Structure 1
Amino acid sequence: MALTVAAPGQTMAQKAGAKPAATARPAPKPLFSDPVYDGAADPVIVWNKQAKKWWMFYTNRRATDTTATGVTWVHGTRIGIAESGDGGTTWTYRDTANINYRPDRGYTHWAPDIVEDRGRYHMFLTYVPGTFTDWQHPRVIVQLTSTDLQNWQYVQTLPLVTDKVIDASVFKLPDGTWRLWYNNERDHKSIYYADSPDLLHWTDHGQALNERGEGPKVFRWHEQYWMIIDQWKGMAVYHSTDLLHWTAQPERILEQPGQGRDDQAIGGHCDVVVSNGRAFVFYFTHPGRSKARPAPANSIAAKRSVVQVAELEFNNGRLTCDRDKPTFVQLVPPRGK
């Protein structure tokens, strides 16, 4: 989910993205590690208006499960929740989401995206009907709703073009309608999209981007729209003025390894939060998959994943990201929330 937020009562300098106060602390590296399975991935950041805290939802891969065979360690997962009471600088584990949709034994929950509309939260979740040793099984995107972000009720399975889709990203269009982008795994893992007038009735319009990648994230910043997708070799960046026609940026971001703890591998499947004129990219890494010192295949070290954060910069019409710069995260609640 891409949020654009601003705080009331701030000065013009603050609204323009002034430098953080001298007492601010940079975000740690890693930003967050899951204490249960050490497999946090695919983060999405949401303001919890009841708790007055930021919540992070993430795929909770079972990296430390030594009994897992094949790719079962990325199946059989529940969605984890972490929370931050200091504007996104530090995060603590809270729980797993109580998702009332688990009709199959060994059910799998992946890669949620969450939006709020008229006092209700909507989650768009990848659902896999079991725990499998390989990738050759169907998966769908289901819609759930909640009033508290903790307890979720099933609404529907989205009527998308195939039975093998993942990674929803939902964005409210200027006319008040909604658009959902997702990865169609049966079409060379390209990006497709569907529209809805009301977050309930959806019409699939087919391919949005003829590029191989997953985890699309769409947001508005610097008077245009951006889409970032995970290409497993860094994050590809596209921009658009109409949310239909996308132009590729030549350079990927989060491709080159960083120097911070657990940040020497490529960045993957991100969320972007735009706050006070600044944009923060929350991504995950597999620390044990660095090119310089790769861990043995199928080891816990190779499987574990953590969430990191960096600040995006806009230079000469392009997005850049220096993951080694100290990141002073200062997320403020959305207006009126």
Structure 2
Amino acid sequence: MKAPDAPLFRDPVHDGAADPTLIRHRETGEWWMFYTARRADLTTEGFGWVHGTDIGIATSADGGRTWTYRGIAQGLAHEPGRNTYWAPEILWHDGTHHMYVSYVSGVPTDWGGEAHILHYTSQDLEHWRFESVLGLGSDRVIDASVWLLPGGGWRMWFKDETGGSHIHAADSPDLYDWRPVGPALDKQAQEGPNVFRHAGSYWMVTDYWSGLLVYRSEDLTDWVRQDEPLLAGRGSRPGDEAIGHHAFALSQGDDAYLFYFTHPADGQRSCVQAAPLTVRDGRLRCERDAAFGLELRADRTPALRGGDMPS
């Protein structure tokens, strides 16, 4: 396998790619990356540059090693005017793609105001239809991650800023109707949960501002925190000389990869990176400076990520 680019991807419009998520297009075999397209090249008051954002799209025809910018997701307009879309979570189930995306009305210059998670569906990853604003028991929720429950149905994890910025959860029988079930992790503030299954266990990786916290579970309910965070220091590859943020993990049989974003030197620009994941002595590890090859394959990819493996 050939090594991927480093950085893996930079947004050619605003140079602020963040919060990546990947899914395989089941018809073309291409890999699609959806991400928050931060407007990092703008000089704005306060935090205006991280608001008013679209969901960008890049695609790869070589198993994820190189990526081509393809524009922004269409059909997301929820209200008139310029609004804010963050952190897409996208999965495939029973012939339909589902997107859960964080939404803030307008272009605030601070971190206040309401935030909701919106649900969209698509048959082709190109044309999206609005389904609903999720009722999650709070008007300050962001960063959805979804996985199948072992006993059937689905669970969503998200950050609730009215609940200590802890990770909360909601359950659904059908991906449309969601019922909040309370805190999933309540020991500290964190955001950007990403849940996946690898090496016989469930894992959750969260963004903790000084690296990525790691939790392990056997049932998606009880989580045990790992002592060592991931990506807490600096990497040596181009564009990777800062801590990692808001990651997406993809299991590939015996292998797994972490896709995350970093802020290079000037603080506003951001780019997407990839690194290998391993499990040793029951702990998840990410050696960001290690040489590795990347070739994402359908027969090693969970079905909910567009592959052929059971989820």
Task: Return the TM-score normalized by structure 1.
Answer: 0.87
Query: For each residue in 1:232-276, what CA deviation from the matched residue of structure 2 results, as whole angstroms up to 9, or x when unmatched?
Result: 100000001111110000000111111111101000001011113
CA distance in 2, matches of 1:266, 1:327: 20
The number of aligned residues is 301
Superposed, 1:137-176 pairs within 5 Å as 137-176=113-152
Partner of 1:243: 220
Q: Note the alpha carbon deviations across 1:57-76, whole angstroms, 9 max, x for none.
A: 0000000023x221010111
Shift of 1:336: 8.0
Cα deviation 1:45-89 (Å, max 9, x = unaligned): 0001123200000000000023x2210101111100001111111
Instruction: Give 2:303's aligned residue.
Output: none
Does the 8 Å CA contact 1:100/1:151 hold for their aligned counterparts?
Answer: no
Equivalent residues of 2:78, 2:130 under 8 A apart: no
2:14 to 21, 34, 37: 37
Which of 252, 261, 267 is equivalent to 1:302?
267
Q: Distance in 2 between matches of 1:112 and 1:100?
A: 11
1:215 corresponds to which residue? 192
| Structure of larger gyration radius | 1
Where does the alignment leave 5 or more consecutive residues of structure 2 unmatched?
299-306
Higher RCO structure, 1 or 2 (CA under 8 Å, sep 6+)? 1
Indicate the residue corresponding to 2:301 in structure 1.
Answer: none
- Counterpart contact for 1:42–1:59, Cα < 8 Å: yes
Residue 65 of structure 1 is matched in structure 2 by 42
For 1:148, the aligned partner's letter is D
**Structure 1 unmatched ranges of 5 or more:** 1-23, 289-300
**Within 2, Cα distance between the matches of 1:227 and 1:100?**
28
For 1:335, the equivalent position in structure 2 comes to 308
Distance 1:130 1:222 in 2: 42
In structure 2, the partner of 1:5 is: none
Corresponding residue to 2:281 among 303, 316, 326: 316
Residues 60 and 68 in structure 2, CA contact (< 8 A), matched pair in contact too: yes
Residue 211 of structure 2 corresponds to residue 234 of structure 1 = yes
- CA separation in 2, counterparts of 1:253 and 1:109? 26
Counterparts of 1:202 and 1:336, CA distance in 2: 26
Q: Which residue of 1 aligns with 2:89?
A: 113
Q: Does 1:54 align with 2:19?
A: no
Percentage of pairs with the same residue = 45
Alpha-carbon distance, 1:212 to partner: 1.3
Aligned with 2:152: secondary structure? coil
Q: Secondary structure at the match of 2:92?
A: strand
SS at match of 1:195: strand
Query: Partner residue of 2:302?
Result: none
Please list the CA deviations of residues 191-250 of structure 1 after superposition, one character each: whole Å capped at 9, or x if unmatched. 000000111111101100013110100111111110000001000000011111100000
For 1:254, the equivalent position in structure 2 comes to 231
Moved over 2 A (4+): 99-102
For residues 11-66 of structure 1, the C-alpha deviation after alignment (integer angstroms, 9 at most, x for no partner) is xxxxxxxxxxxxx3211210000000000000000001123200000000000023
Q: Does 1:75 align with 2:51?
A: yes
- SS of corresponding position for 1:73: helix
**Cα drift, residue 175 of structure 1:** 2.7
Which of residues 126, 129, 134 is equivalent to 2:110? 134
CA distance in structure 2 between the aligned counterparts of 1:221 and 1:127, rounded to whole angstroms: 30
Partner SS, residue 175 of structure 1: coil
TM-score (norm 2): 0.94
Matching residue's letter, 2:218: T
- AA aligned to 1:326 is A
Distance 1:182 1:315 in 2: 28
The one of 163, 187, 191 equivalent to 1:187 is 163
Cα RMSD of the aligned pairs, angstroms, is 1.3
What is the correspondence of 1:7-46 to structure 2 with a 5 Å cutoff?
24-46=1-23
* Contact 1:112 1:168 (C-alpha < 8 Å) held by counterparts: yes
CA distance in 2, matches of 1:167, 1:266: 19
